[in-house]
Amino acid sequence: MRHIPQEIPVGKNEGLPSDSVVNLDNIHVIPKKSLEHRLGHIDSTRIREIKRALGYVLDWSELKTL
Protein backbone atom coordinates (compact mmCIF):
# COMPACT_ATOMS: atom_id res chain seq x y z
CA MET A 1 0.00 0.00 0.00
CA ARG A 2 1.59 3.21 -1.19
CA HIS A 3 -1.22 5.69 -0.35
CA ILE A 4 -1.21 7.19 -3.86
CA PRO A 5 -4.25 8.51 -5.81
CA GLN A 6 -4.18 5.39 -8.02
CA GLU A 7 -4.92 3.09 -5.07
CA ILE A 8 -8.23 2.55 -3.27
CA PRO A 9 -8.06 0.85 0.13
CA VAL A 10 -10.39 -2.16 0.54
CA GLY A 11 -10.86 -4.79 3.22
CA LYS A 12 -13.49 -6.47 5.41
CA ASN A 13 -16.25 -4.04 4.33
CA GLU A 14 -15.80 -5.37 0.79
CA GLY A 15 -15.83 -9.00 1.94
CA LEU A 16 -12.07 -9.51 1.91
CA PRO A 17 -10.27 -11.36 4.71
CA SER A 18 -7.66 -8.62 5.17
CA ASP A 19 -6.82 -5.05 4.18
CA SER A 20 -5.62 -4.51 0.62
CA VAL A 21 -5.88 -1.98 -2.21
CA VAL A 22 -7.41 -1.76 -5.66
CA ASN A 23 -4.36 -0.65 -7.62
CA LEU A 24 -5.05 1.08 -10.94
CA ASP A 25 -1.42 2.03 -11.53
CA ASN A 26 -0.88 -0.88 -13.93
CA ILE A 27 -4.09 -2.00 -15.68
CA HIS A 28 -4.37 -5.27 -17.63
CA VAL A 29 -7.28 -6.72 -19.58
CA ILE A 30 -8.10 -10.39 -18.97
CA PRO A 31 -10.89 -12.58 -20.36
CA LYS A 32 -13.97 -12.83 -18.12
CA LYS A 33 -13.91 -16.61 -18.44
CA SER A 34 -10.59 -16.68 -16.58
CA LEU A 35 -12.34 -15.28 -13.48
CA GLU A 36 -13.62 -18.28 -11.54
CA HIS A 37 -15.13 -16.77 -8.38
CA ARG A 38 -15.54 -13.44 -6.61
CA LEU A 39 -13.28 -12.52 -3.72
CA GLY A 40 -15.34 -9.53 -2.57
CA HIS A 41 -17.68 -6.77 -3.71
CA ILE A 42 -17.48 -3.03 -4.40
CA ASP A 43 -20.41 -0.75 -3.50
CA SER A 44 -21.40 2.40 -5.43
CA THR A 45 -19.36 4.69 -3.16
CA ARG A 46 -16.21 2.69 -3.84
CA ILE A 47 -16.97 2.62 -7.59
CA ARG A 48 -16.86 6.43 -7.56
CA GLU A 49 -13.45 6.31 -5.83
CA ILE A 50 -12.20 3.79 -8.40
CA LYS A 51 -13.33 6.04 -11.27
CA ARG A 52 -11.50 8.97 -9.66
CA ALA A 53 -8.33 6.87 -9.31
CA LEU A 54 -8.66 5.84 -12.94
CA GLY A 55 -8.80 9.54 -13.82
CA TYR A 56 -5.35 9.97 -12.25
CA VAL A 57 -3.97 7.01 -14.17
CA LEU A 58 -5.32 8.23 -17.52
CA ASP A 59 -4.87 11.94 -16.74
CA TRP A 60 -8.61 12.33 -17.43
CA SER A 61 -9.64 15.51 -15.63
CA GLU A 62 -13.40 14.76 -15.73
CA LEU A 63 -12.87 11.62 -13.69
CA LYS A 64 -10.43 13.21 -11.24
CA THR A 65 -13.16 15.53 -9.94
CA LEU A 66 -15.75 12.81 -9.12
Please state, in angstroms and rounded to a whole number, the distance separating the CA atoms of residues 17 and 15.
Answer: 7
For 4-56, write each residue's pLDDT tens digit: 888 999 999 999 999 999 999 888 999 999 989 888 999 888 899 999 999 98
pTM value surpassing 0.75: no
Please state, in angstroms and rounded to a whole number, the distance separating the CA atoms of residues 5 and 38.
Answer: 25
Residue 54 region by backbone torsions, left for phi larger than 0, else alpha for psi between -120 and 50, else beta: alpha
pLDDT score, position 4: 85
| Contact (Cβ atoms closer than 8 angstroms) between residue 66 and residue 55 | yes
Domains of the chain: 1-24+37-66 (2.30.30.110)
Checking if the pLDDT of 66 tops 80, the result is no
